[in-house]
Amino acid sequence: MKKSLYSVLALSTGLLLTSNAFAAASGNIGGTSNYLWRGVTQTNDAVAIQGGIDYSHDSGFYAGTWASNVDFGDDTSYELDLYAGYGGSITEDISYDLGYLYYAYPDAEGSIDFGELHGAITWKWLEVSYSQVVNAGDDVAADPLDNKDLSYLAATISVPLTEKLNLSVHYGYSSGDVVEAWFGEDNYADYNVTLSADTSMGTVSFMVSDTDLTQDDAKIALGYSYSFDL
């Protein structure tokens, strides 16, 4: 996501629980011409259909699930994410997000599920985040590599150009044994520029993305998403 999950959920309308507590449930559905995760295609450069359900509470707690089709060149056909966390504001300009995200691949032949803890701090238009894998299946990386040795440091600048048009610039750095198992390199950087527009029919986006991985080319991804209250 371009923003922290908490920041997105905080914009949802609330359902009255008590005189001082609000909660919101929402759904989202959409698609992309190429599902890129940290700069790398998850669909063999093909189209993905995606969607999820989110819950947020004004205490700062949030939880949700999200799914997408994938293509790893084997029988694995979809990804199912489960997540929960807590976020809030420190000052008017500074907010934070702490959470856990579990990546599941239910129809994969091997044990390739993994989960990571993440933390993010946002100051006005700048977000800095760090993720670390804390649990992983036996087949995420082959022995003697460590299945849980995967970290991700990222920075994203988001600038509103108009009331409905937004420009974001992203840089991320992945490192660890899992990167070596997947790509034959012990680290790599990904970067992208995204222009997105909010319309009455949803949000459309245009992304140019690249990595410094050997034999990887720059990619363009067109996206669409529509969110709704539940």
Residues paired with 186 in a beta bridge: none
For residue 21, the model assigns a pLDDT of 65
What are the structure tokens assigned to 155, written together?
């920075």
Residues lower than pLDDT 70 in the chain: 1-21
Taking residue 75's Cβ as centre, other Cβ atoms within 10 Å add up to 8
Q: How many CA atoms lie within 13 A of 222 on its CB side?
A: 2
pLDDT tens-digit series, residues 144-200: 999 999 999 999 999 999 999 999 999 999 999 999 999 999 999 999 999 999 999
What CATH number is given for 5-229 in this structure?
A: 2.40.160.40
How long, in residues, is the chain? Answer: 230
Lookup: tokens for 98:
């702490």
